[in-house]
Structure 1
Amino acid sequence: MPYTPGANWQYDVPTTGSTHLPPDAGYGKALTNQGYGFEVAVADLIDNSIDAGADKVVVHFLRDASRILTLLIIDNGKGMDEEGLDAAMTVGRRRDYGEGALGMYGTGLKAASLSHASSLTVVSRTRRSRAAGRRLTAEGIEDGFRCDTVDPRYAQDLVDRYDGIIEWQGTVVRWDGVRSFETVGRGQSDQFLSKAIARLETHLGLYLHRYLQNDLKLDIAVWDVSSGDSLGEEVDHIAVEALDPFGYKVPGKAGYPRKFTAPVEGVGDVQLTAHIWPAKSKQAGFRQIGSLTARQGFYFYRNDRLVQAGGWNGLRNPEGHLVLARIAVDLPARANSVLSLDVKKENVTVTPAFTLGVEKAVDSAGHTFSGFLADAEAAYRDGSRRTEIVRKAVTPPGKGLDPKIKRVIKEELPEKADEEPISFTWGSLPPDQFFALDRASNTLILNKTYREDFNDGRRGGVNDAPVTKTLLYLLLEDCFGLGRWERGRQDKVDYWNTILLASVDAQRARRAQAAS
C-alpha cells in the first residue's frame, strides 16, 4: 500500500523494497573479540563434540623443549564431510539444532577459536567420507571471508595420528598462533601449563559434570614433540572428573534437597531444586569450584549442560551466611522472553517475572522458598559454632600424580599459598638411590631403573605407580620449601632410600618366584 504522508506514522514503518547486504570483512574484528575466556572457549568446542555424539574427547597441548606450540581437541563423534565442513566454517551460518543440542547460535566454533588463536583448522572424517579439512584465519576473514582447503594428505595423516580416539569417524579442531601461548617466556612453559590445565580441569569438570557422570570420557594431555619419536612423548595426562556442585554425601539440613515450583509469568511453572550443603565441607564440589560467596545461588542447566554456576540474578545480594544455599534450575525447552542465555553460555539473564515467581515458590508440603533461605542460614550459623581441628598446610602435589589423588589431598589438607606444586618424574639415578629431591624445582625424582617393578612389569603412563608416589609425597612433602637443610633431615632421606631399595628387592624376588 503506498504511503500517505502523515497517516499512521506512529504504528508502522512502510518500505518500498529491499537489498541484501553481506557482512563487511571488518566483521572479523568483532568475531575475534567476543570476550571468551580460555576455559569457556574450550568448553564451547567440546559442546560441539557432544552434539556430534562423541563419548571420548581429548584436549591436547603440543609443546617442544622451549615453547607451547598448539592446542588440539579430538573427538570420536560422527564427523563431517566436505559439505559439512563448509557449513561449519561459514561465518554467520546458523544450522538447525536438535531439541537436546548444546549449540545455539552457530557462532561458537569460529568466535571461541579466533578469540584465542590466529588460525582455526578443522579436520574430520565420517564413516562414509575420507578425511578432509578447512582452515580459517583472521587474514582470510579480512580477505572476503576466505576459507582454505586443507591438503587431504595432511588431513588423513592427522586423523591417523589419533587413531586411538578416531576410529571410523571423528573430528580434530586445531588452534595455531594461540596468543596466550606466545606470551609465555622461555623456561616458563611448565609453570604456565600447570596453571592453565588446573583451571581448565576445574571448569570442564564443573560445567560438564552431568555428562562426565554418565558416558563422557574427557582427558587433557600434554605431548612433547621435541623427542626423537615422530609422535613425541606424553609428559602429562589428566582424566577430567566430574565436579558436582550438589555432590554432598549428607545434606546440611535434614529434609533437603526440596523441589519447589515457581509460577513464572510468561513461562509457566519452573522447577527449583534447593540444596543446603553441610557446613565446612571439604568436598571438591563445594570448595574447589571458586569463591564460596560467588558460588551460592542459582545453577542453571540447559540440556544437562551447566550454563551458570551461582549468583542470585537480582533476587538478592550474595551474603556470607548463605554460602550453603544452591538451587538447580533446568531451563525450559522452549524459547521465552523471561530467561535468556548469552552466546558464551556463561550467564543467564532474567526478567523480574522470574524473581517474582521464585519469591512465590512452594514445595508439595507447603514449604516456602524464603523458608529454604532461612534453613540455609541456620545451617551455616550452627556450623560456624563448631570447633574444627586445623590441619597443617602442605605444598600441593602436581604433575605425575593421579588427579583423583590430588583432589582428595586438596579436600583433606589446606594448601600453602604461592607454593609451586611438587611434581613427580622418573629419571636416571645411582643404583643406591630409589628417589632424589630437586628442591630448586620442587621435583621428586624416582629412579627409572625400578619403574617396571611398580607397574607390573610395564612402563606405565605419566601418572603411574600411584600408591608409591602418594606414600613418597606424604613422607617428603615437608622437605620442600624449607630454608636451611638440616643434617638430621638428610639422614632420614638416606635411610628411607635404603629401606625402599630393600622393598624393591623383595618385590623382584616375589615376581621371580611367581614366574618360576
Structure 2
Amino acid sequence: MNNVQEIELPPDPERVIVGLRDTGYEFNTAVADIVDNSIAANATNIRLQLGIDLKGNIRLLIADNGDRMDRQGLINAMQYGSKARSNLASLGKYGLGLKTASTAFCTRLSVISRPNAITSPLMATWDLYHVADAKKWALLLNEICDDEAVELMNKVAPGQAGTVVLWENVDRLIKDYSDPAGKPARKALQTKENSLRHHLALVYQRFLDLDDNRAPNIIIELNDEPVAPWDPFQRGLSELVAEEKVTTRLSDGREAQFIIRAFILPRREEFPDDALAAAALLSNERQGIYIYRENRLIHDADWLGLYQKEPHLSLLRIEFSFDHKLDDAFHLDIKKSQIILNDDIATWLSHEFLTSPRREANRRSREGQQKEISKRGEGAHDNSNNNIRNREAVAGGPKVNITDLSAGEAEVENKHGKTRLRLTITSAKRSGEVFVQPVDGIKNGLLFQPAIIEQHKAVQLNTSHPYYHKVYIPNLNRSVTMQGLDSLMWALTVAELSTVQDNTAAIFQDMRYEVSRILEKLVETLPEPNMGSDNGD
C-alpha cells in the first residue's frame, strides 16, 4: 500500500520577497497599480508626493481618502496574495500589486492607515532587509507612524478614514550618481515625474474627466499639481468611423460583452490651433489599439501583433473596452498591462472590423501628405529647369511636333524615322517649369512619363510615388542633388523619344512601369522623411 505524506513546504522568505522585485514592473505601471487600490477602495481624492532630500534619498507617498481599513484589514492588504475583494470588478485583481509593484523600486514599503477620525493611524511595513535577517515573513506593525505620511493623510482625508503608501530606500528608480542629491539626479527624477504625470492622465482619463460618465470621478494630484485627463481619441475633434458592441459566450456558458470603436484624428493642419495639435501627440507611436478594463487603460498604442506601425496610419486609434468577465478569456497578467487576444477575435479585428478604418485613415493621411508635398515642393525644381534650358541644345534629342492637341497626339522624328505617339501635352504650372514638372499622380502609378510642355520635351514626376516621397523630399533644399535627380529623369524621357519606334512604344511603357515598380520596392525600408523639418530629414 502506498502511503502519501503531506508536507507543508513554505517558500524561503528572503528568496521569494527579493525575487519578486524582478517581476518586470516599469515605474509608471507600478504607481498605477497602487492608484488602482485607492480607486478600488472608493477613494475620490488621491495625492502623490515624489521627492528627493539633501542626502539623495528618494521617497514616494501616495495618499487617499478611501474606505476604512482597520488593523486586520491593513494586515490583509500587506499579505502577499491577500484575500480577494468581494467586488470582482475591482481594479485591484490579484492581491499582489501593492507589494510587488512597490518593492520593484524600494526595499522598504509601509502602509499607514486610519480607520476613522478618532482612531490613531497604524503603520505596517515590509522591510526586505529585516525579512532577510529574521528569515521569516516578518511584517512590522507600528503605532508610531511616519510624520510626513500622517501630514499628507490629514490633507487628503481630514477628519476621516485615510491611507498612505510610502516607499523608502528607493534604489531602482534612477541610476546611481556620484552626487546623489545633485542637479543631474534631480533632473532625472523630474523626468520620471513628468512621465508619470502623463501616464496617470492617460490611464485614468475616464476617471479624471468630469464630463465622462463611464467611470466615477476622482481627483489626482502629483506634487501639489492636479493631473488633467488626456484623451488619446480627442473626442470632439476626431471622427468616430466604426463601432461594434460584441457579445461573446465564455467557456463556462456566461455571456460577456466588449465594445470597440475606431477614431480618426484630424491632420495637424486641421486642428483649431497648434496647442491642441501638440496636445494630441500626433506621432506615429500613438497609433494602435487602446485597451480598457473596467474603464482603466491597461495597454495602449499597440496593434497587438496584428500589424506593424506605419506613418500613414498615425491618425488611427482604436478603443477596446471590456469588463472583468473577460479577464480569463484575455489572459490578463498580474500587472494588468496587457492582454492576449484569442484567434477568433484577432481574425475578426484584422480581416473585418479594422479593414475599413485603416483604409480611410490611410487615404486621409496621404491626402494631407500630398498637400504638404505640393506646398514644400513648389519651386524645388526651378534650378533644374534653368539648367536644362541652358543645356537643351547641347543635349539634343528628336524633333517632336504636336499633330492633334485635343487627342494628345504628337509625331516624334528620330534616327529611326517618324513615330506617332500619344503624349501628355500641357502648359507650365509655374513660369519656366517646362522641362521638369511635378504632378500629383500619374496613370498606373508610374514614377515618371514623357510630356510636351509648351513645345519642349519634358518629364512629369509623380509626387505620389514612394520614390519621390522618400528620395526627393529629403533633398528639396539641396540644389545639386535635385538637379542630378531631375536631369536623370529628363534624360531618360528624351532617350526614350530618341529611340522609340512604332513597334517599341509599348516596350518603353512597360519599362517605365517596371522601373517605377522596382524603385517602389527598393525604397520601402528607407526612413520616412520628417515633413516638419526644413529639409525633410
TM-score, length of structure 1 as denominator length: 0.62
* CA shift in 2, pair 1:18/1:357, >3 Å: farther
Paired with 2:219 and 2:305, the residues of 1 have a C-alpha distance of 36
Q: Aligned partners of 1:299 and 1:115: how far apart in 2?
A: 25
Shift of 1:275: 0.6
Query: Mind listing any 5+ residue stretches in structure 2 that lack a counterpart?
Result: 211-216, 377-537
* Closer/same/farther in 2, CA of residues 171 and 261 from structure 1, 3 Å limit: closer
- 1:154-192: per-residue Cα shift (whole Å, max 9, x none)? 368842454121221111111111013572434224312
2:176 corresponds to which letter in structure 1?
T
Identical-residue share of aligned pairs (%): 26
1:371 to partner: Cα distance: 1.2
Counterpart contact for 1:296–1:311, Cα < 8 Å: yes
8 Å CA contact retained: 1:49, 1:57: yes
1:149 and 2:141 matched: yes
Alpha-carbon shift at residue 22 of structure 1 (Å):
2.0
Work out whether 1:259 is the aligned partner of 2:243: yes
Within the alignment, does 1:340 sit opposite 2:328 as a pair?
Answer: no
CA contact (8 A) 1:307 1:347 kept: yes
Q: State how far apart, in whole Å, the 2-side matches of 1:285 and 1:273 are.
A: 22
1:81–1:129 Cα contact (<8 Å) kept: no
Cα distance in structure 2, aligned partners of 1:250 and 1:154: 49
Alignment of 1:233-244 (within 5 A): 237-244=224-231
The aligned residue for residue 250 of structure 1 is: 237
Residues 289/87 of structure 1: CA separation in 2 closer, same or farther (3 Å cut)? farther
Matched, 1:30 2:19: yes
Equivalent runs, 1:375-454 vs 2, <5 Å? 375-387=360-372
2:352 matched to 1:370? no
Q: Distance in 2 between matches of 1:124 and 1:269?
A: 37
Q: 1:272 touches 1:329 (CA, 8 Å); kept in 2?
A: yes
> 1:265 touches 1:357 (CA, 8 Å); kept in 2?
no
Aligned length: 353
Cα deviation code 1:430-489 (max 9, x no counterpart): xxxxxxxxxxxxxxxxxxxxxxxxxxxxxxxxxxxxxxxxxxxxxxxxxxxxxxxxxxxx
Structure 2 counterpart of 1:423: none
How far apart, CA to CA, are the structure 2 residues paired with 1:292 and 1:74? 34
| Equivalent residue number for residue 46 of structure 1 | 35
Residue segments in structure 1 that go unaligned for 5+ positions in a row = 4-14, 222-236, 362-367, 391-516
Q: Output aligned runs, 1:269-280, within 5 Å.
A: 270-280=258-268
Q: Larger C-alpha radius of gyration, 1 or 2? A: 2
Provide the residue aligned with 2:176 in structure 1: 183
Distance 1:288 1:43, change over 3 A: farther
In 1, Cα distance between equivalents of 2:64 and 2:37: 10
Is 1:71 aligned to 2:67, yes or no?
Answer: no
Q: Please, which of 164, 173, 188 is the counterpart of residue 165 of structure 2?
A: 173
State the match for 1:469 in structure 2: none
| 8 Å CA contact 1:260, 1:369 repeated in 2 | no
In terms of fraction of residues, the more helix-rich structure is: 2
Letter in 2 for 1:213: D
Q: CA deviation at 1:357?
A: 2.6
Q: Give yes or no for the alignment of 1:318 onto 2:318.
A: no
Find the partner of 1:114 among 103, 112, 120. 103
1:292 aligns with 2:289: no
Structure-2 separation of matches of 1:284 and 1:88 = 43
Distance 1:39 1:333, change over 3 A: closer
Compute the displacement of 1:64 (Å): 3.1
In structure 1, C-alpha distance between the alignment counterparts of 2:256 and 2:34, rounded to whole Å: 32
Taking structure 1 as reference, are residues 155 and 328 closer, same or farther at Cα in structure 2, changes over 3 Å only? Answer: same
CA–CA distance in structure 2, aligned partners of residues 309 and 240 of structure 1:
19
CA shift for structure 1 position 92: 2.7
Q: CA deviation at 1:287?
A: 5.4
Q: Is the 8 A contact 2:174 2:189 kept in 1?
A: no
| Offset at residue 97 of structure 1 (A) | 4.5
How far did 1:122 drift? 0.6
Map of 1:199-214 to 2, 5 A cutoff? 199-214=195-210
Q: Tell me which residue corresponds to 1:57.
A: 46
| Structural mapping, 1:354-369, within 5 Å | 354-359=345-350, 361=352, 369=354
8 Å CA contact 1:260, 1:274 repeated in 2 = no
Amino acid at match of 1:334: K
Contact in 1 for aligned 2:294/2:323 (Cα 8 Å):
no
Alignment RMSD:
3.0
The letter of the residue matching 2:90 is A
TM-score of the superposed pair, with normalisation by structure 2: 0.60
Supply the AA of the counterpart residue of 1:187: G
What residue in structure 2 maps to residue 220 of structure 1?
Answer: 222
More relative contact order, 1 or 2 (CA 8 Å, 6+ apart): 1
